[in-house]
Structure 1
Amino acid sequence: MDITRRTFLHGAGAGLALSGIGAHRAWAETSLSFGGMQVQSLSDGHLVLPPDFIFGPMPQAELAPLLAERGIDPGDPLTPECNVTLLRDGERVVLFDTGAGNAFQPSAGELLDALDAAGVAPGDVTHVVFTHGHPDHLWGVLDDFDDPLFSEAEHMMGRAEWDYWYNPETVNTIDSGRTAFAVGARRRLEMLEDAITFFDDGEEILPGVAARATFGHSPGHMAFELRSGTEAVMVVGDSIGNHHVAFARPGWNSGSDQDQEMAAATRSKLLDQLAHEQTRLIGFHLPQGGIGRAERDGDGYRFVPEGA
């Protein structure tokens, strides 16, 4: 495929191939191909978060030197990238999550431009697969007229995640700071009700795509293993939510998780597997397009972007 100014794609080749562009985020900054699959990381922009949203429940005395080592000022806002994964496999064009749309944060909601740069129109998308129902992953599913944006696509969500967000009682039981999450999710899921397919942990939801329960960040959060032969990539969503503390101290509770203890246990187990098997991962909020691998680093891990 031709290289242009705004989209950087890597042609198919034997084994896993990957291209990256350095420090500046482009719409399709990183892509890889294996078997018949081509996977791209597309930018939906970034979020702006108060530090306590993640760091609040952590042991502050231990946190401070860890952040200092990584050049992170604990008083500065956090600005994590939002990376939407696009899979092209034969006639299938699959989106994992749909970004934030225009109703969440002004710094996010850029997926349509990213898709355009990658040569994909909304009507080309055959499947939309959700990791979970938080705004930056779900709210971009509707267009400006509140109709499904990907009108030709089959929409797919884990059964437990759907049940949680569709339940009208969730708005009354969720943490008060996330009430808008529940209201927004319910409204969007109502629009998808007649076009949704449910799946459970361990199911092969599409050829070469298996669902993996990674509960905790949200009640039914799912990751997805994309596999062709002996090669695989794990789309981890927000089960590994940042490139610093989540890797260095995966067992610490994070304020971004709805069930903090469950999420920490999930994160620790997943990182152990990824590091042991050296399986590539794509993280929704990881830097440089989110494609890389986890490596052991003392008692924890570190994120190594592909090509580093």
Structure 2
Amino acid sequence: MELTRRTFLHGAGAGLALAVTGAARTGWTATTLNLGSAELTTLSDGYLVQPRNFVLGGMPEAEYMPILRRHGLSPEEFRPECNVTLFRDGDRVVLFDAGSGSGFLPTVGTLPEAMDAIGLNPEDVTHVVFTHGHADHLWGVLDDFDEPFFPNAKHMMGRVEFDYWFDPDTVNRIAPTRTNMAVGAKRRLDLLADRITLFDDGEEILPNVAARMTPGHTPGHMSFEIRGGSESVMILGDAVTNHHINFERPEMGSAVDQDRQMGADTRVLLLDQIAHAQMGVIGFHLPQGGIGRVERLGDAYRYVPETG
């Protein structure tokens, strides 16, 4: 796995780009690596703004505060990046997730500008593969006129995840704080239903791309293992949602997961697998473009970003 390029926005000439991409906090547009003959690029869709309880609710303060201090973070607000993965292999141009679009938060929805910055048009995308149905991963699939933003793409989602969000009763069963997520997902999946191909855990959904069921964040959340020769990279989606507590205390249930215990159990197994296999990782909410590796530290782990 060779990191080939990280594109930074800096200096006086970058002012406009910073304004339109939402990248002023991190100063990056895209990070690219080679995996065999394929190329993986993360594109910035901006960043989220998450209040304390959304991330830390239910966690013991005495256990998470030392971790946050080590990372120089305040517990009052988190601003995780949103990294959409672009996979180019031969004639396939694949996006893993579609970003937020324009209807979610003002700090996200910058994927179209990031694509434009690297010369990629929505019509060029051949496949859109979803990790799960939350707004920052799904809502960008439609344009402002409710037409598919990627008109030529085959859309793909795990069967369990699709069934969960497509079920009209999900909005009545989900936590009240997530009702908007359910309404938004259902509306988009209704409009896209005839375009979506479903797949199951363990399937090779595309050449060298295998689906890995990683539930807990949502009931049918999927990660994806991409292989190139003797190397591999795991696209994590939101199976791991931060670079601090999730790595140092993966067994600690997170408030961002719909099923806290299942999310923690999944995270423990996933990080163990990745560290043992020395796989690269791409995290939707990991810093500096989200491309890096996992190091084991006793019973805990550390995220190490690729720096180029």
For this structure pair, what is the TM-score category when the shorter chain's length is used for normalisation?
A: over 0.9
Equivalent of 1:26 in 25, 28, 47: 28
Question: In the alignment, is residue 240 of structure 1 matched against residue 243 of structure 2?
Answer: no
Deviation at 1:298? Answer: 3.4
- Where 1:295 maps in the other structure, the secondary structure is strand
- Where 2:251 maps in the other structure, the secondary structure is coil
Q: Report which stretch shifted further, 45-54 or 123-132.
A: 45-54
Identify unmatched segments of 5+ residues in structure 2. Answer: 9-24
Counterpart in 1 of 2:198? 198
Counterpart in 1 of 2:13? none
Question: In the alignment, is residue 275 of structure 1 matched against residue 275 of structure 2?
Answer: yes
Contact 2:7 2:29 in 1 (8 A): no
Counterpart in 2 of 1:78? 78
Counterpart in 1 of 2:97? 97
Question: In the alignment, is residue 259 of structure 1 matched against residue 223 of structure 2?
Answer: no
Deviation at 1:186? Answer: 0.2
Question: In the alignment, is residue 222 of structure 1 matched against residue 208 of structure 2?
Answer: no
- Where 1:302 maps in the other structure, the secondary structure is strand
Question: In the alignment, is residue 39 of structure 1 matched against residue 25 of structure 2?
Answer: no
Counterparts of 1:81-230 in structure 2, within 5 Å, are 81-230=81-230
Question: In the alignment, is residue 61 of structure 1 matched against residue 27 of structure 2?
Answer: no
Aligned residues: 292
Taking every aligned residue pair, what percent have the same amino acid on both sides? 59
What letter corresponds to residue 27 of structure 1 in structure 2?
Answer: T
Alpha-carbon separation, structure 1, partners of 2:84 and 2:7: 17
- Where 1:128 maps in the other structure, the secondary structure is strand
User: What are the superposed Cα offsets for residues 257-279 of structure 1, whole Å, 9 maximum, x if unpaired?
Assistant: 00110000000100011111110
Deviation at 1:16? Answer: 2.9
Counterparts of 1:10-21 in structure 2, within 5 Å, are 16-20=2-6
- Where 2:41 maps in the other structure, the secondary structure is strand
- Where 2:62 maps in the other structure, the secondary structure is helix
Contact 1:17 1:34 in 2 (8 A): no
Alpha-carbon separation, structure 2, partners of 1:303 and 1:85: 18
Contact 2:45 2:114 in 1 (8 A): yes
User: What are the superposed Cα offsets for residues 22-77 of structure 1, whole Å, 9 maximum, x if unpaired?
Assistant: 7943221x1101222100000000000102111112111111122112211112x1
Identify unmatched segments of 5+ residues in structure 1. Answer: 1-14
Which 4+ residue blocks in structure 1 deviate beyond 6 angstroms?
none
Contact 2:28 2:288 in 1 (8 A): no
Alpha-carbon separation, structure 1, partners of 2:58 and 2:291: 28
Taking a change above 3 Å as real, the CA distance of residues 182 and 299 of structure 1, as seen in their structure-2 partners, is same
Alpha-carbon separation, structure 2, partners of 1:65 and 1:35: 40
